[in-house]
Chain A
Amino acid sequence: MNGGNGIAIDVKGLTKSFGGREVVHDLSMQVKRGSIYGFLGPNGSGKTTTIRILCGLLTPDSGEGTCLGYDIRRDAEKIKRQVGYMTQRFSLYQDLSVRENLEFVARLYGLADARGAARDMIKRLGLSGREEQLAGELSGGWKQRLALGACTLPNPQLLLLDEPTAGVDPKARRDFWNEIHALAAEGLTVLVSTHYMDEAERCHEIAYIAYGHLLTHGTVEQVIAKSALTTYTVTGEDLNELAAELTGKPGIDMVAPFGTSLHVSGRDVAALEASIAAWREKSGLHWQKSQPSLEDVFIELMGRSKDNFQ
């Protein structure tokens, strides 16, 4: 394999604009081979655009890099042979059956035995008995499974999955992630975009992107540590009132209710503690200093980037 230095994706300074609006700004990233790389960020943050640039569907305005050792500008055709891309919206043929869709993909990639490959994949996906069902008639979970099957069929080196589990029930999501881990164990590199924090925590590495800027990346622990966020978890009565009063106080960057508790976070520990001091001793409230969750970090990042870039 080319680029056998253990790096599957290596891009620098990717920039892409649509109609004068910059969607991806100076984005650089590296993804190790065999790893699962989570791509997080709010809607419209440029995740899909970045993924499309990586698989050759879009040409970057500037920036360069390699995908599986191939130049993303010049070798789009070679990259396409080695990359399985699962689109955000189901993009297989709704009026073709499960089997016909898989056979179509197998033939396009030139598998020696297209029918056999489709048959094996149907078994592997647990779709036996549904092979003659039209893809459009499958439920969301099955569609997503079929789409994953279709993009892994030609034995790609890299999977690009764009919000693969959006609108899928928890059981199907769990199964899906087990499959992704199994594929990664076989040596596949997976880049997956998601909104779910539990999914982010199942990735080897994550990157957070907002308004086209890659804000932070690393393992989950690294990202949390880098945020330098201090979080207090409050439980007790009248949390809604408390939330309203704390919001906007100096040092308090974020107040977010989590079920029966409230997360109060800030970057400046001293200012934060000064602001909450008045409520610390209030009866009926229980304060505890805790690790910020990944979600705290992301929401804080999102709030911050909104100020910076919008």
Chain B
Amino acid sequence: MSTVDHPAPRQEIRERFGFLRRSYAMLVKEFIQLKRDRVSFAMIVMLPVMQLMLFGYAINTTPHHLPSAVLLQEDSDLARSVLKALENTAYFRFLHEVHDVDDFDNLLKSGKVLFGVEIPRGFERAVRRGDRPALLVAADATDPVAASAAIGSLGMVVQTALKHDLYIGDPPEMPFEIRAHARYNPAAASSLNIVPGLVGTILTMTMLIFTALSVTREVERGTMESLLSMPIKPVEVMFGKIVPYVLVGFLQAFLIIGIGVGLFGVPVLGNLFLLALLSTLFITTNLAIGYTISTLVQNQLQAMQMSMMFFLPSILLSGFMFPFAGMPAWAQYLGEGLPLTHYLRIVRAIMLKGATMQNLRFDALALAVLMAVAMTIAVTRFRRTLD
């Protein structure tokens, strides 16, 4: 080597703004590594686009042509009218007409039909007498989403359709009772609800995994030993590793919302800037949690497992899949501890209801608190030595 020709240049070492300089050094390094990792880089764009296309179009809680059977115990004009009206809703498609209860049960049990409508004996006479007879709708509850939407629409649709067939004129109330547990379905079109929800879900997944692997990757590749021997503080490592992905998350959020608006016609009624601001907060919170996981585990496999342990409750308890208010109190408390719960409220409220910061300050504060807690754990847990 040519030491003699090139004596070591002595550069002064600056002490000021050390925090910013070291965080910046880490940040640049992380950016370059992300850029080099082509697969991860492609995933940043492909993941949200694919998931949105897939779920946006595929998840449709408004069912069509559900296979149904009818147990006809009386063959009256009114009964025929009711059936016709039901079929006209396009929810039901009557494949079987049976007259025996056992046949009816078997059809449901075997899964040949998801719905069964029973028109009892003396139905028409009872209606005319004003007795409000029961129209039993039996639903295969193994698919509660499909069932609830169809049941929910029953009352309205049948009543409207029957107006013309009944000689009672305009009945003040249903001339007969539909005996089923009708459930409330808040959104008329599923994609309006799904797209904002997907913003949060996709961000949770990608952000969590990006940072959950970050520290363990350094340990497994052996670069941690070098890094720890240099004068960098845990907080600087954390910032350097989180900040690049805030931009990545922002890009993803932009993509999802853009596609949602462009392809699915989801409105953004509220302030776009507020949405961007609170989305950034949510992204950072998830990154901080992922980073915390990274400081708690020994290797990348554990990091993935722990991420999944966090991700699944996020999907199930946040109100993304099931209505939040329908959960038992303890599950709701658990849900309040998940960033996705708060972000779903925020993103749905801003996009669909035009909510302002005033409406959302509790959820915004909750996100900030969760972020601060995660970061504190991460910084205290970060091991500065190899002990």
Contact = CB atoms under 8 A, between A and B. Distances in A.
Interface residues of B, number: 41
A216 to B, nearest CB: 28
Nearest to A61: B387
A182 interface: yes
A59 B387 contact: yes
B1 A104 contact: no
Contacts of A116: 9, 11
A126 B33 CA distance: 25
Interface string A87-114: 1011111111000100111011111111
Nearest to A96: B32
A91 B1 contact: no
B3 A80 contact: no
A95 B36 contact: yes
Given A81-B231, A178-B1, A104 B29 contact: yes
B129 interface: no
Contacts of A183: 3, 8
Given A57-B225, A76-B384, A80-B230, 9 more contacts: A87-B222, A92-B226, A96-B33, A100-B32, A109-B231, A111-B14, A113-B11, A178-B3, A183-B8
B168 interface: no
A105 B21 CA distance: 11
Contact of A89 (B4, B28, B222, B230): B222
Contacts of A117: 9, 11
B14 A112 contact: yes
B11 A155 contact: yes
Interface string B1-44: 11110111111111100100110111011001100110000000
Contacts of A77: 231
A58 B387 contact: yes
30 contacts: A52-B386, A56-B229, A57-B386, A58-B385, A76-B384, A76-B385, A81-B231, A85-B229, A95-B33, A95-B36, A95-B37, A104-B28, A107-B21, A107-B28, A109-B13, A109-B230, A110-B18, A111-B13, A124-B6, A125-B1, A126-B1, A134-B36, A152-B8, A155-B10, A155-B13, A175-B1, A176-B1, A178-B3, A179-B3, A182-B4
A85 B226 contact: yes
Given A57-B386, A91-B225, A110 B230 contact: no
A46 B229 CA distance: 18
B223 interface: yes
A83 interface: yes
Contacts of B8: 124, 152, 155, 183, 186
Interface in B338-370: none
A108 B22 contact: yes
Nearest to B34: A95
A130 interface: no
B228 interface: yes
Which 9 A-B residue pairs are closest in the complex by CB-CB distance?
Answer: A107-B25, A91-B226, A182-B3, A85-B229, A179-B1, A124-B6, A80-B231, A108-B25, A95-B36
Contacts, number: 126
A273 B349 CA distance: 96
A177 to B, nearest CB: 10
B29 A58 contact: no
Nearest to A113: B11
A112 B12 contact: yes
A154 interface: yes
Contacts of B297: none
Contacts of A112: 11-14
B223 A92 contact: yes
A123 interface: yes
A212 to B, nearest CB: 17
A89 to B, nearest CB: 5
Contacts of B15: 110
B304 interface: no
A279 B21 CA distance: 72
A56 B221 contact: no
Contacts of A90: 222
A255 interface: no
A154 B9 CA distance: 10
